Amino acid sequence: MTINFSNIKKDKGQLMVALRDTKGEMVKGVKVPVTKTGTISYTITGIKLGNYTLAVYHDINSDEELNTNMVGLPTEPYGFSNNARGTFGPPSLKDQTFSISGNTTISITLK
């Protein structure tokens, strides 16, 4: 599975990627170094065919936490599979679900 992460605005830190099943259980976590702005592609291997969700955030300061402001809103860019967005919190798992049925490429725009 190849993931294209776009809208990367700072060339430092790492992308913290969480591949989960449709129940939200972690399948695989990956740290992708960020060395440029724009778009970064990353391939995850060894994933079984099936339905998954994916969440990512740009850990700009490399503290391995999604930093938030005083009211709990993220201060670091993040995104979800299908570019799903929630209103007051993360989007539903249903909105994030995608299928891996062979060589699969998905795109996520960080905001």
pLDDT per position as a tens digit, 37-74: 999 999 999 999 999 999 999 999 999 999 999 999 99
Asked whether residue 87 carries a pLDDT value surpassing 90, the answer given is no
Give the residue extent of every domain in the chain: 2-109
In DSSP terms, which residues pair with 99 in a beta bridge?
51
> 2-109 — its CATH code?
2.60.40
Task: Give 28-32's long-range contacts (Cβ < 8 A, gap of 24+).
Answer: 32/5
Q: What is the pTM of this model?
A: 0.95
* Mean pLDDT (whole number) for 18-36: 97
Question: So what's the pLDDT on residue 49?
Answer: 96
